[in-house]
Chain A
Amino acid sequence: MTDRAKFIAGITSDLGRTEMLVPSADLATAIFEDAEVARTRATHAVSDASSRSSDLVEHMAESAITSGWKVHRVANPEDAAELIGEICRQKEAKTVLRSTHDVLSTIPLEAAITSFGATLGVTALGDDASSTDRDKARESLFGAEVGITGVDFAIAETGTVVLHPRKGLSRLLSLAPPTHVAVMRPGDVLDSLDELFAMERDDFLSGELAGSMNLISGPSKTADIEGTIVTGIHGPLEVHLVILANS
């Protein structure tokens, strides 16, 4: 008998049974919701979210402020570039790094950031990156003053930005630099984590999902010294949410 089998057999007997009682199929997949119902609800949530996107954006903007994001509304990609350039300039940034999110490729960031002498880099290693490449990339992530990402989703209930790290989106990009700028579009917003998890459940079960997923709601903070809330303990001191209007 393996250690695992022994451990689990012990639990079975502690529960007063002689063999494992597997809950009925529905229970095994989602206790309070049938998997099919969840999927339908998720599909509706997405189409519903896009039809209500303007309400959801208002809700998101409000919640994001409560969570500690500095929220900016911009009308077009040019204004977004100007705003982000200005944030980087104020932070006296020398190195700015960005992800390969689609929304960022529509924004003329390069000009805005090089205009005051900083450099803009993209964090994207190949599959076959050597460990030296990875060490170098990490060093530059820890050295950068600003990290710019898109959002994979935004959650209106809690003012949360969802990021799925992948090729072109380092885990550290939204964590190591002291300032993080996230750019979202109205169609990115969902009501709550319920919709997010319902929608992504199949991905979670496939085993194909990236090694981590991050829900980010404001700047890094602590209250461990006399209960005083201080931002910027391990992660960013300042986080900006740029809401780019639909063109």
Chain B
Amino acid sequence: MKPQTTHFRFKASQTLVNDQIQQSLEHVYTGFHEGRLTAAANTDNWEELRTKGKAIKDHTIAHLDHYLDLLADSVEKNGGHVFFADDAEEARQHILGLAKANDVKTVIKSKSMVSEEMALADALIDAGIEAVETDLGEYIIQLAGETPYHLIAPAVHKSRKDVAALLSDDFKDGDPVPDAVQLTRMARSKLRAVFERADMSVTGVNFAVAESGSIALVTNEGNGRMSTSVPRIHVAVMGMEKIVPSIQDLSTMLRILIRSATGQRISTYVTMVNGPRKPDEEDGPEEFHLVIMNNGRDRLLAETRMRESLNCIRCGACLNACPVYRKVGGHAYGWVYPGPIGSIVSPVLTGLKDASNLPNASSLCGACHSACPVKINIPRMLLELRWRTAEGKVDARERTSSIKERAVWKAWRFGMMGRRRFDLGARVARIMIRPLSRGGWIKKAPPPISGWTVTRDFPLISPKSLKSLLSVRTKHTKRDLD
């Protein structure tokens, strides 16, 4: 998928004035965020599980070379094939090649963010192959020609009316809008027909177990199960970080993933795939392929200050917790991964210069850090990326700050570093700023700080400083004591 991270401000302001989407985004909070909080409260050892989850991921990433090697051996032992792809293009070409070599006509896709990185469905369609998204949300998004709005709720911004118009050509404006049950039934019958004729499936991977070569798929709808039951060929695609060492680690990871994603104790289906079907099985794919993709993740790995972002298990909890995501929506982030985790991953995977707005789209409130089931310190990495765009010290090309901006901050720093300078500056600012305010706010500041007030209001500085208020108070207290 082509990054459009430069459009953040434009897309965000469009969403802010769209009442329908603002209403849909409420669900992200009431449905998922509150669901997660309840699930965590009902789990006795929740904090212990988070600590364990973090330890499992830290350990795995620190030995990623070993676990990838072990995983590849295990998958091959089970009769599966492994392909290592350096980037999205290599992965895409490999899968297209598999489809062509096997004369595949219909591919069913389960939800997979990694396949979004490859823009795989479009590539298959361009090659003349029917490629259908089967997760209901992804199916709606595919019909609309859009990209996912949320990691686990891709169509959260679509209303019933939008969905009705997408599912049925006959639906006209003014027609009674079908309810969610009717719409789901319509989608069921359309997709059933596709499942029955599918000859290849592409799924993501929630976890790959290195020691056994198994992959775990977590779904509520059952499309993941269809994908592993009907077609001749099953291709699973994963980012290279999605590994756990042992089958026992899986129970911990499933517990924290599912509770953090939807607030459920477990999803309706957890499907474990251990290679192709065995000869005496009734059904299942004859071939199993695992595609392990890098696509820039090596940069997250090599930069020790960003490495922790590879612990992410893509539950979406940080999106739901984020006051910024819940207002600007998923499309503003401009690439596959929205929200706080997207703001640290997208800049490194697609280029910080274009994505420099993303690390700034945060109030650093820390809600994402508290919500993360593997305790990723997202705010710390947002600051790291801000520092880079401000200073350009890691790579001068990443610097997006203007000479003017840097000069203002230099002056600010100078002023803040001395007591007298600070007092003098504050006194001058108090006098100068007063005529600019309207109702206690400055909506339009003069240069050189005019840029700051384009999207923000500046509060009027209080008429008396804390210091002077305190000194008066100290005098009073003294007098009272006397």
- Using a CB–CB cutoff of 8 Å, the interface residues on chain A facing chain B are 3-4, 7-12, 14-17, 20-23, 27-33, 38, 63, 66-68, 123-125, 127, 134, 137-138, 141-142, 157-160, 165-172, 175, 192-194, 196-198, 200-201, 204-205, 207, 209-228, 230, 232-235
Distance between Cα atoms of A18 and B447 in the complex (Å): 53
Given A134, A211, A216, A226, which contacts B278 in the complex, CB threshold below 8 Å? Answer: A211
Contacts of A3 in B (CB 8 A): 83-84
Bound: A63/B263 CA distance, A: 15
For A125, the chain B residues whose CB sits under 8 A away are 282
Query: B134 interface residue, CB < 8 Å from A?
Result: yes
Q: Using Cβ atoms and an 8 Å threshold, which residues of chain B touch A142?
A: 192, 196
Q: For B84, give its contact among A4, A170, A201, A228 (CB under 8 Å).
A: A4
Q: How far is the CB of A236 from chain B (nearest CB, A)?
A: 8
Contact sample, A vs B, 16 pairs, CB 8 Å cutoff: A17-B65, A31-B249, A66-B265, A123-B282, A142-B196, A160-B266, A166-B280, A197-B251, A207-B274, A211-B228, A212-B271, A221-B268, A224-B135, A224-B155, A227-B27, A233-B188
Q: Return A146 CB to nearest CB of chain B, in Å.
A: 16
Q: How far is the CB of A168 from chain B (nearest CB, A)?
A: 7
Contact across chains for B271 and A214 when beta carbons are under 8 A apart: yes
What's the Cα separation between A14 and B270 when bound, in Å?
Answer: 33
| Chain B contacts for A216, CB-based, 8 A | 268-269
What is B's interface to A at a CB cutoff of 8 Å? Answer: 24, 27, 31, 52, 55-56, 59, 62-66, 68-70, 72, 74, 77-79, 82-84, 86, 134-137, 140, 153-156, 158-160, 163, 179-181, 183-185, 187-188, 191-192, 195-196, 209, 211-214, 220-223, 225-226, 228-230, 240, 245-251, 254-255, 262, 265-285, 288, 292, 294, 298, 301-302, 304
Smallest distance from the beta carbon of B86 to chain A beta carbons, Å? 7
Given contacts A175-B226, A205-B247, 8 further A-B contacts (CB under 8 A): A7-B84, A30-B248, A66-B265, A157-B265, A167-B281, A171-B228, A227-B153, A234-B195
Please determine whether B64 and A11 come into contact, CB atoms closer than 8 angstroms.
Answer: yes
CB distance from B55 to the nearest CB of A (A): 8
Query: Across the interface, which residues of A come within 8 angstroms of B292, CB to CB?
Result: 7
Do B225 and A171 have beta carbons less than 8 Å apart? yes
In the complex the two chains form, is A134's CB within 8 Å of B269's CB? no
Interchain CB contact (< 8 A) of B156 among A17, A175, A227: A227
> What chain A residues lie within 8 Å of B275 (beta carbons)?
207, 211
- Asked whether A211 and B277 contact (CB < 8 A) given A33-B248, A175-B229, the answer is yes
Shortest CB-to-CB span from A68 to chain B, Å, is 8
Q: How far is the CB of A163 from chain B (nearest CB, A)?
A: 10
Distance A165 CA – B79 CA, assembled complex (angstroms): 17
A16 to B68, CA, bound (A): 16
CA distance A138 to B277 in the complex (A): 15
Instruction: Name B217's closest neighbour in chain A (CB-CB).
Output: A212
Whether B274 and A210, one on each chain, are in contact in the complex, defined by CB atoms closer than 8 angstroms, is: yes
Among B74, B183, B283, B298, the residue within 8 A (CB) of A172 is B283
Minimal Cβ-Cβ distance residue in A for B154? A224
Complex: chain A residue closest to B75, CB-CB: A207
- A20/B69 in contact, CB under 8 A: yes
Judging by beta carbons under 8 Å apart, are B134 and A31 in contact?
Answer: no
Residues of chain A lying within 8 A (CB to CB) of residue B272: 212-215
- A222/B266 in contact, CB under 8 A: no
Q: How far is the CA of A9 from the CA of B137 in the complex (A)?
A: 38
5 A-B pairs with the lowest CB-CB distances in the bound complex, closest first:
A235-B222, A224-B137, A228-B180, A234-B222, A170-B282
Q: Which of A123, A233, A235 contacts B187 (CB 8 A)?
A: A233
Contacts of B268 on A, CB cut-off 8 Å?
Answer: 67-68, 216-221, 235
Contact A211:B285 (CB < 8 A) given known A30-B249, A226-B27? yes
The complex places the Cα of A171 from the Cα of B248 at a distance, in Å, of: 24
From residue B312, how far is it (CB to closest CB) to chain A in Å?
Answer: 17
In the complex, which of the residues A11, A124, A205 contacts B68, with contact meaning CB atoms closer than 8 Å?
A11
Cβ contacts under 8 Å, B220 to chain A: 220-223
CB distance from B294 to the nearest CB of A (A): 7
**Contacts A67-B266, A138-B283, A200-B247: A224 and B64 contacting too (C-beta < 8 A)?**
no
Knowing A8-B68, A224-B135, say if A31 contacts B245 (CB, 8 Å): yes
* B27 partner residues in chain A, CB cutoff 8 A: 226-227
A137-B283, A234-B226 are known contacts. Are A225 and B163 too (CB-CB below 8 A)?
A: yes
Find out whether the CB atom of B64 lies under 8 angstroms from the CB atom of A222: no
Residue of B nearest to A217 (CB): B266
Bound complex: CA of A223 vs CA of B150, how far in Å? Answer: 13
| In-complex Cβ contact of B302 among A14, A192, A200 (8 A) | A14
Given A4-B82, A21-B66, A235-B269, the answer on whether A227 and B31 have CB atoms closer than 8 Å is yes
- Across-interface contacts of B185 in A (CB, < 8 A): 232
Tell me, in angstroms, the Cα distance from A234 to B284 when the chains sit together: 17
Contact flag A211-B280 (CB < 8 Å), given A31-B249, A222-B221:
no
- Report if A226-B134 is in contact (Cβ < 8 Å); known contacts: A21-B63, A33-B248: no
Give min CB distance, B26 to chain A, whole Å: 9
A233 lies within 8 A of B63 (CB): no
A residues less than 8 Å from B278 (CB atoms): 166, 210-211
How many angstroms from the CA of A214 to the CA of B163 in the assembled complex?
A: 31
A230 touches B248 (CB 8 A): no
Residues of A within 8 A of B213 (CB): 207
Are A233 and B136 neighbours in the complex by a CB distance under 8 Å? yes
Can you name the residue of chain A whose Cβ is closest to the Cβ of B251? A193
Contact of B66 among A23, A68, A219, A225 (CB under 8 A): A23
Residues of chain A within 8 A of B229, CB atoms compared: 171-172, 175, 212
Contact B66–A20 (Cβ < 8 Å): yes
Kindly report which residue of chain A lies nearest to residue B221, judged by CB atoms.
Answer: A233
Cβ of A198 to closest chain B Cβ, rounded Å: 6
Residues of chain B with a CB closer than 8 A to A166's CB: 278, 280-282
Q: How far is B77's CA from A146's CA once the two chains are assembled, in angstroms?
A: 36
Chain A residues lying within 8 Å of B24, measured Cβ to Cβ, are 226
Closest Cβ of chain A: how far from B171's Cβ, in Å?
14
Assembled-state Cα–Cα distance A224/B246 (Å): 32
Judge whether A204 and B66 touch: CB under 8 Å. no
Given A175-B229, A215-B266, A218-B268, does the pair A15, B222 have CB atoms closer than 8 Å?
no
Could you tell me if A15 and B188 are in contact, using CB atoms closer than 8 angstroms?
Answer: no
